[in-house]
Amino acid sequence: MGYVTTDDGTRIFYKDWGSGRPVVLSHGWPLNADSWDAQALFLASRGYRVVAHDRRGHGRSDQTWHGNEMDTYADDLAAVLDALDLREATLVGFSTGGGEVVRYVGRHGTDRVAQVVLVSAVPPFMLRTDDNPGGVPVEVFDGIRAGSLADRSQLYQDLADGPFFGNNRPGADVSQSIRDAFWLQGMQSGHRNAYECVAAFSATDFRADLDAVDVPALVIHGDDDQVVPFDVGGKASADRIKGATLTVYPGAPHGITDTHKEQLGDDLLAFLRSHDSDRAPTEENR
């Protein structure tokens, strides 16, 4: 574990587990790198170097007043990749982290990137607008912002108890501990940072960034995602990225890093190995 300092002096916390070809994990709102622990442990135990950072204003990174938007998030991700000199990396983004990953590709290219994975991710564009009529109405995001200002502790509790893990569906069985972990990570974010991030994940148009993806891409999305609806997120992204593979988890909610962690780990590992099998053997991957 350590910190990378960006050009504006912001300290970005990161975990760095295992060794091998790098896998870089970008987390969702309002969480932090800990939300990836199940996948990080699984992949690092199977021959990969797993790097997971806390977005600025989240977890253990600095709570800056400025820079709570996607361009800066992507530049912070670039700072991590550059500082650790990560090459031939697989970038994996969950929810808001998916936006961070594709905006990175749009702004910094794929010189350091071998593959891209989007998990329950916010691209191409969540907000309903005249040129995005299938998007989510702004009133939904205004409600999240109002909840954050009124009682953000209760907001995070309500999200965890309800739509995030699909715990409001008949037969759902999401442990209190998983829901508590969501709340705890949310409360570790900065109030302003998390509030501003609502606009970042909902009102950023990633369509041009998806067009710039020129490496193999895997899109994973649950078809009962109540946070980023399947048609708005995974299906639309897979339709837009040339050659992308779409994997649908039937009946799955948004938070599949917890609810479907075994299946997600297996699918990530298979995708990683699809690239490694095409590489010439080296000392690093033997």
Mean pLDDT over residues 173-182, rounded? Answer: 97
Per the DSSP assignment, residues forming a β-bridge with 223 are none
Residue 219 pLDDT > 70: yes
- Give the contacts of 197 (CB within 8 A, at least 6 positions apart): 29, 30, 55, 57, 58, 68, 96, 189
Mean pLDDT over residues 130-139, rounded? Answer: 95
The residue whose two tokens read 């033997």 is 286
Give the per-residue pLDDT at 95: 98
The pair of structure tokens assigned to 33 is 């790198």
* Helix 37-44 × helix 261-276 angle, to 10°: 40
Residues marked active site are found at 95, 225, 254
Mean pLDDT over residues 99-121, rounded? Answer: 98
- 49 pLDDT band (50/70/90 cuts)? very high
Q: Cα 231 to the chain's mean position, in Å?
A: 18
Q: How many CA atoms lie within 13 A of 72 on its CB side?
A: 19
Per the DSSP assignment, residues forming a β-bridge with 14 are 2, 53
Give the per-residue pLDDT at 278: 72
Give the per-residue pLDDT at 277: 83
Residue 206 pLDDT > 60: yes
Task: Classify burial at 55, counting beta carbons within 10 Å of its beta carbon; exposed 0-12, middle 13-18, buried 19 or more.
Answer: buried
Give the per-residue pLDDT at 274: 96
Mean pLDDT over residues 130-156, rounded? Answer: 97
Contact 99, 55 (CB under 8 A): no
Q: How many CB atoms lie within 10 A of CB 224?
A: 15
Residue 39 pLDDT > 50: yes
- 1 pLDDT band (50/70/90 cuts)? confident
Stretch (H or E) spanning 219: strand 217-222
Contact 67, 56 (CB under 8 A): yes
Q: Which domains does the chain have, with CATH numbers?
A: 2-278 (3.40.50.1820)
Residue 170 pLDDT > 90: yes
Mean pLDDT over residues 19-31, rounded? Answer: 98
Mean pLDDT over residues 167-186, rounded? Answer: 96
| Percent of the chain residues past pLDDT 70, beyond the cut | 97
Stretch (H or E) spanning 52: strand 48-53
What is the rounded average pLDDT for all residues in the chain?
96
Give the per-residue pLDDT at 135: 95
Residue 285 pLDDT > 70: no
Amino acid (one-letter) located at 63? Q
Give the per-residue pLDDT at 286: 46
- 280 pLDDT band (50/70/90 cuts)? low
Mean pLDDT over residues 21-46, rounded? Answer: 98
